[in-house]
Amino acid sequence: LFSSRFVGINASDINYSAGRYDASVKPPFDIGFEGVGDVVALGLSASADYTVGQAVAYVKAGSFAEYTVVPAKQAVPLPSVKPEFLTLMVSGATAYISLKELGELSEGKKVLVTAAAGGTGQFAVQLAKKANCHVIGTCSSDEKGGFLKSIGCDRTINYKTENVESVLRKDYPEGVDVVYESVGGKMFDLALNSLATKGRLIVIGFIAGYQNPTGLQPVKAELLPAKLLKKSASIRGFFLNHYLSEYKMALKHLLKMYERGDLVCEVDFGDMSPEGKFTGLESVFRAVDYMYMGKNIGKIVVELPHSVNSKL
């Protein structure tokens, strides 16, 4: 049994709560995907590997809760209870595994990351830079652009003030080799049209459509076969659940990088949001709103304060 101290907000929380991941689930059901906290009680089999008070992270549906029961084999032991570790559980692992398995990154490749200053975009930027790629990141403010530059992004494009399509056409006439795409809709079309010969577009989400009744914004895909053929290009979808065999290895690698100081794990507690920091489960809905307004820089995390007298 874990006592949660921090829970992570993901764009897909909306998809899950809208019943798109599993239509058979009927409300009320638990939501939230990940948390960091400490062990407060152990089952018999878990006591061999864990101790009460130990810091752990977990990825499990229903993590928006003060206490969560997690099978021992799903828990990840941590050096301490820090929100930065939470950024790696879903967001960091998604970037790491998708780029490793599908990106075929190598020195000098041009990599476009959409929503680059978001929870997972921040890792796609840094990991592509570590592979000696040239990284282009789209974002919605100059403040986010500044953050992206600080983590090594070579070219930032503020899509509110610049025309992404014309910037790409002018500065990258040969196209981009890999796109890490999480926005969907018009941005997907634009990314597709910007692919280089043998380019790869990795779809890790389409946040622009999650709040639509159908969950999708139309894309101009009628010409897709011709576009792909003309460039020998490809589109790959990536859903973390299908790559769980790679998960432990990815997390181990990311944790090492963070502890060595090789990885920035930016956390956004919503201090700049109208009602202030996201504290307590009651602020989860504010945190989700904040993300959909495109305000966050890095991963949105909600802190769950625990009273000293908290009794099970």
Q: What would the pLDDT profile of 267-300 be if each residue is shown by its tens digit?
A: 999 999 999 999 999 999 999 999 999 999 999 9
Tokens linked to 211: 């709040």
Beta carbons within 8 Å of 52's beta carbon, 6+ residues apart: 39, 40, 41, 42
Q: Give the residue from 95, 90, 142, 134 showing the smallest Cα distance to 112.
A: 134
104-113, 193-202, 219-228, 241-250: segment of lowest average pLDDT: 219-228
Which regions of the chain does DSSP assign to beta strands (E)? 2-8, 34-39, 55-59, 67-68, 75-77, 110-113, 134-139, 155-158, 176-181, 195-203, 234-237, 267-268, 299-303
* Domain range annotation of the chain: 2-81+266-303, 90-241
Give mean pLDDT, residues 175-190.
96
Q: What would the pLDDT profile of 200-209 be if each residue is shown by its tens digit?
A: 999 999 999 8
Architecture of the structural domain at 90-241: 3-Layer(aba) Sandwich (3.40)
The CATH fold of domain 2-81+266-303:
Quinone Oxidoreductase; Chain A, domain 1 (3.90.180)
| Neighbouring C-beta atoms of residue 140, cutoff 10 Å | 17
